[in-house]
A and B are shown apart, each in its own frame.
Chain A
Amino acid sequence: MSVNSRRVRAIVRKELRDFRRNRSLTVGMAIIPVLFCVQPLVAVFTLDPAASTTLRHQHVLLYMLGIPALVPSFVAAYSVVGERQQGTLEPVLTTPIRREELLLGKALAALLPSLAVAYVVYGLFLACVELFAAPVVASALIRLPDLLAQLFFTPLLAGWSIWLAILISTRSNDIRVAQQFAMLASLPSIAVTTLVGLNVIKVSLVAGLVAAAALLLLNWIGWRFVSAIFDREQLIIGTK
């Protein structure tokens, strides 16, 4: 099956325009990173420099991977059920677009702003740590392996959250319920990254690469699976 990039781009462009003007979505996307940043920043600023030895054996900043896990789920959960409630899905489903293209477009539209938010917030967090935390604490926190993990796992975790959220969105009748369930579904990812960050789960480079490959595969499976169960006719005639 070939994917028509023009149709995918049309969905992405439309979704991004719509997101930008949807105040409840933009506020929701902004609140989650703020909640994630404030408490850790306060903790880092008040940290005793002596604690830097312990920090060197942990990957505390992986905690920030919660942002790409949560933010896109909030947006993606809206994507199908939101359109259904507004009555805008029916006209789209009667166009030549394939369900795989529609869902890919929606996923990319949720992914792009989420990546931007996740990377920008992470950058700001690092800048604050570098500028305002004790130098030994900053050097203990900011390390290359953690930066690389953040760089590569951000899109992978975001993608996984998006497919879970779209799956929930296709099966929901209410936007709020879909968003709540989608955020709940993202919690296991956050739990795993937090346990890795606290060194409860020890991860080697090989294990990290395997996890990345597994997430990439899960993203592909997620796309195919959600596409397969996306019942176009049922969504048009509106029966459950």
Chain B
Amino acid sequence: MPLTPENGVEIRRRISIMPESPGLYLRLSVVENLECFAELYETPDPTDRIDRALRAVNLVDRAGDACGALSKGLRQRVALARALLSDPEILFLDEPTAGLDPAAARDVHELIVALSRSGVTIFLTTHRLEEAERLCTRVAILNTTLRTIGRPAELRDQLFARTLTVKTLAPLGDPGLVFGDLPAVDGWHQDGPVAYVLTISDAAVAAPAVTRALVRAGADVLSISESRYSLEDVYFELIDENETAHGE
């Protein structure tokens, strides 16, 4: 469907938005708020749909309460219920867990995952990078402008070399001999007296080969771990790159 003003009604029928500020009518009850929006979306059987939306956010027992009497977290949940009323194909969520306690945030996360699995495309705006990493299949990082976009694993691979960190009980006699000619190991360097960082191309190939080489060398292995970079690392790497570029 072309994104033209002529298709505005049809486009808005297929999307739903939960803004950062819930934007509820505070003098109206939860149900009255939802009734209004169910009608605006021309929802068939609005009573049933409202009931389902309230169940999805665990708010059935507060249905008759005035929204002005609810806590910020509960208002967020009402706004989420409102966004679910129309069974949208595309859902925009702006900071959906802002102000929620951990248990409520977990419930919202589970709901988002369930919606995503049911085929709803979700655009999630968040400052919580662990939330984005946990919930999103593709991530766009904005810092004034769009800095990067892609799957979290792709972004990590773009910015960071994949590495294995090996820790042994005692220093290896000749680490170059142990790590020198292993498949999928592109290089190595020592990181402290008993730690070695190996640059690898494929962890599934490199890790077993490294383990076998260490055993052959008679090393007492404490750990072999693949370095994990979080989305936060990606973010700061991008910001650092930006600041470096501006500094130059």
Which residues of A are in contact with B by a Cβ distance under 8 Å? 4, 6-7, 9-11, 13-14, 17-18, 21-22, 86-92, 94-98
Contact = CB atoms under 8 A, between A and B. Distances in A.
Given A14-B32, A96-B9, A98-B9, 15 more contacts: A6-B39, A11-B40, A13-B39, A14-B25, A17-B27, A18-B25, A18-B27, A21-B27, A86-B26, A94-B12, A94-B16, A95-B40, A96-B13, A96-B40, A97-B40
Contacts of B15: 94
Nearest to B14: A96
B42 interface: yes
Interface in B73-94: 79, 82, 86
Contacts of B79: 91
Nearest to A94: B17
Interface in B17-41: 17, 19, 21-28, 32, 35-37, 39-41
Interface of B: 9-10, 12-13, 15-17, 19, 21-28, 32, 35-37, 39-42, 79, 82, 86
A92 to B, nearest CB: 7
15 contacts: A13-B36, A17-B25, A17-B28, A18-B27, A18-B28, A87-B21, A91-B37, A91-B79, A92-B40, A94-B15, A95-B37, A95-B41, A95-B86, A96-B12, A96-B13
Nearest to A88: B23
Nearest to B92: A94
B23 A86 contact: yes
Contacts of A11: 36, 40
Nearest to B24: A88
B28 A91 contact: no
Contact of A7 (B21, B23, B26, B42): B42
Nearest to B27: A21
Contact of B41 (A9, A18, A90, A96): A96
Question: B13, B21, B28, B39: which has the most chain A beta carbons within 10 Å?
Answer: B39
Contacts of A4: 42
Contacts of A94: 12, 15-17
Question: A6, A14, A17, A95: which has the most chain B beta carbons within 10 Å?
Answer: A95
Contacts of B10: 96
User: 9 closest pairs, A vs B, by CB?
Assistant: A10-B39, A21-B27, A95-B40, A14-B36, A87-B21, A94-B17, A87-B23, A96-B13, A91-B23
Contacts of A92: 40
A91 B40 CA distance: 11
A176 B24 CA distance: 22
A214 B35 CA distance: 38
A86 B24 CA distance: 8
B19 A90 contact: yes
A7 B40 contact: yes
A91 B19 contact: yes
B25 A88 contact: yes
B32 A91 contact: no
A106 to B, nearest CB: 13
A91 B39 contact: no
Given A13-B36, A14-B32, A91 B27 contact: no
Given A7-B40, A92-B40, A96-B40, A14 B19 contact: no
A17 B32 contact: yes
A160 B65 CA distance: 37
Contacts of A14: 25, 28, 32, 36
B82 A91 contact: yes
Contacts of B21: 87, 90
Contacts of B24: 88
Nearest to B19: A90
B36 A10 contact: yes
B45 to A, nearest CB: 14
A22 B25 CA distance: 11
B37 to A, nearest CB: 6
Nearest to B26: A86
B111 to A, nearest CB: 18
